[in-house]
Amino acid sequence: MRDRVTEIIMRLRVQNEKLNRTTHKLQSRAKELFDQCVQAETNKDKDRAAIYANEIAELRKMNRVILRSQHSLERVTIRLETVKEFGDVMGVLGPAVNIVQQIQGELTGVVPEVAGDLAKVDEMLDTLLVEAGTVTGETVDVSVHDEEASKVLKEASEIAAQRMKVSFPDLPEAFKHLESGETRGQ
């Protein structure tokens, strides 16, 4: 069982690194578009500036999902490392499964490759959960774990929001409404 936990940890780290590379690409692209947006504003080309600002807003939305996922995967990885060292497999695997499933769903449209790989990790966790239950005779209370998973995801979301403020440049004032998905007339 310990070898399986080690393999799952390794796979989660690989997926987190893929997400990290994607974040860097998004940040680079956002900075490039931001410079073009500023240039368009300077040239009084409001239509072109709006196009760039819209794309920056979309990149930010994607990056929020990725950052939240990264933080959640890090927490799952740390928990699994703790399990590997000290036991309590049943208490940790339930929330880990729920978090991985939720992240997988969120990443499907943003980073499909990582979402697919997380499906494999989810299968491995499910198998490990069944095996651990067979060995220990314990069962998992899913409702408690869903609550725990929700707490982890909420914390990850808050951290992601803080990091977004640092990582991505602010949109020009005329386009701030795009971040919340509003249109100009609202």
Region 155-179: mean pLDDT is: 68
Nearest Cα residue to 36 out of 154, 150, 149, 175: 175
Scanning the chain, the segments in alpha helix (DSSP H) are 2-42, 46-86, 89-107, 112-136, 142-167
What is residue 144's predicted lDDT score, i.e. its pLDDT?
A: 42
Checking if the pLDDT of 138 tops 70, the result is no
Phi-psi map region of 170: left, alpha, beta (phi>0 left; psi -120 to 50 alpha): beta
* Higher-pLDDT residue of 128, 67: 67
What is residue 3's predicted lDDT score, i.e. its pLDDT?
A: 84
Could you read off the pLDDT of 90-122 as tens digits, one per residue?
667 777 888 888 889 989 988 999 999 999 998
Average pLDDT, rounded, for the chain: 80
Region 160-178: mean pLDDT is: 68
Contact present, 117 and 19 (Cβ < 8 Å): no
Phi-psi map region of 44: left, alpha, beta (phi>0 left; psi -120 to 50 alpha): left
- When pLDDT is cut at 50, 70 and 90, the band that residue 148 belongs to is low
Region 41-51: mean pLDDT is: 92
Single-letter amino acid, residue 124: M
Q: List the chain domain ranges.
A: 2-178
> pTM for the complete prediction?
0.66
Interacting residues of 86 by C-beta distance below 8 A, sequence separation 6+: none
* Higher-pLDDT residue of 111, 149: 111
What is residue 54's predicted lDDT score, i.e. its pLDDT?
A: 93
What is residue 142's predicted lDDT score, i.e. its pLDDT?
A: 41
Tokens representing 38 are: 């500023």
